[in-house]
């Protein structure tokens, strides 16, 4: 089946630290991969995406590379800020019963201390 | 463009009642998907509508239903509410539902069943 496994949280870092949140997936076919972020009391916002192998998605200093050989899509940021504190979800998009659906990982709560 | 809007934002119901949630997609978007978010199960796909037709449905009981109107607005209905239905219900829209297309999420409706 299709599934996403994310690094267990919570993750706590100091401001300006390097961030990695691991994400691996299992999928039939060739999924597109996404990172969404959820701030307290809000819905999900797209952070970045990649639609084929070796693509790199990037946004707001975050990056992730679609690695087909390791079935991974790890999220990285070189220097985190307090405002990056949120819950991060890795997801894949697959065709299901003739339409697309998103399959999400369990989410990783990130807290950045000043 | 205005984002995805959901009403109401918060709702309290008692067991056995029914509830209807509403979602207005981004203008021009024809695909609307619904997801349930709970601490225990994470984000789970409910169903997707495109041009007033439900094209796929996740693994939820028949108490969960929905519809889409000609203006792409969508409603979701849950009948005979159970305590376990307490969750954040998220609606997402996309232009056409192509592979790799981004789904844009609304802020969600938080339902509490007492």
Indicate yes or no: CB of B97 within 8 angstroms of CB of A100.
Answer: yes
Q: Which of A21, A31, A29, A94 is nearest to B33 (CA)?
A: A94
Question: Per-residue pLDDT for B9 more than 80?
Answer: yes
Closest Cβ opposite residue B56 in set A34, A36, A99: A99
Question: Per-residue pLDDT for B44 more than 90?
Answer: yes
Average pLDDT over residues A67-82: 96
B31 touching A (Cβ < 8 Å) = yes
pLDDT tens column, A87-106: 999 999 987 777 788 999 99
What pairs with residue B50 in β-bridges? B31, B53
State the pLDDT at residue B2: 83
The Cβ of residue A5 has, within 10 Å, a number of other Cβ atoms equal to: 15
State the pLDDT at residue B35: 97
Mutate to test the interface with B, among A99, A105, A108 (most CBs of B within 10 A): A99
B105 touches B22 (CB < 8 A):
no
Closest residue in chain B to residue A45, using alpha carbons only: B105
Element (H or E) spanning B9, and its range? none
What does chain A look like in DSSP terms, one character per residue?
--EEEE--S-EEEETT--EEE-EEEE-SS--EEEEEEE-TTS-EEEEEEE-STT-EEEETTEEEE-BTTTTB--EEESS--GGG-EEEEEEEEEEETTEEEEEE---EEEEEE-
pLDDT tens column, B47-106: 999 999 998 899 999 999 999 999 999 999 999 999 999 999 999 999 887 778 899 999
């Amino acid at each position: 089946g299709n599934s996403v496994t994310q690094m267990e949280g919570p993750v706590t870092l100091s401001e300006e630290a390097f961030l990695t949140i691991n994400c691996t997936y299992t999928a039939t076919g060739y999924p597109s991969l996404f990172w969404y972020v959820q701030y307290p009391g809000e819905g999900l916002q797209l952070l970045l995406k990649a639609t084929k192998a070796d693509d790199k998605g990037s946004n707001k200093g975050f990056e992730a590379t679609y690695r087909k050989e390791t079935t991974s899509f790890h999220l990285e940021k070189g220097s985190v800020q307090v405002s990056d504190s949120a819950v991060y979800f890795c997801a894949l998009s697959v065709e299901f019963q003739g339409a697309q659906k998103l399959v999400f990982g369990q989410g990783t709560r990130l807290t950045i201390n000043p | 463009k205005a984002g995805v809007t959901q009403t109401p934002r918060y709702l309290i119901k008692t067991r056995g009642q029914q509830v209807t949630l509403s979602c207005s997609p981004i203008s021009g978007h024809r695909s609307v998907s619904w997801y349930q978010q709970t601490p225990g199960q994470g984000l789970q796909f409910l169903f997707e509508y495109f041009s007033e037709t439900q094209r796929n449905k996740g693994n939820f009981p028949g108490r969960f239903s929905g519809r889409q109107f000609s203006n792409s607005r969508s409603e979701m209905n849950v009948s005979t509410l159970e305590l376990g239905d307490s969750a954040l219900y998220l609606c997402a829209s996309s232009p056409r539902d192509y592979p790799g297309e981004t789904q844009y999420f609304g802020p969600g409706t938080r339902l509490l069943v007492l």
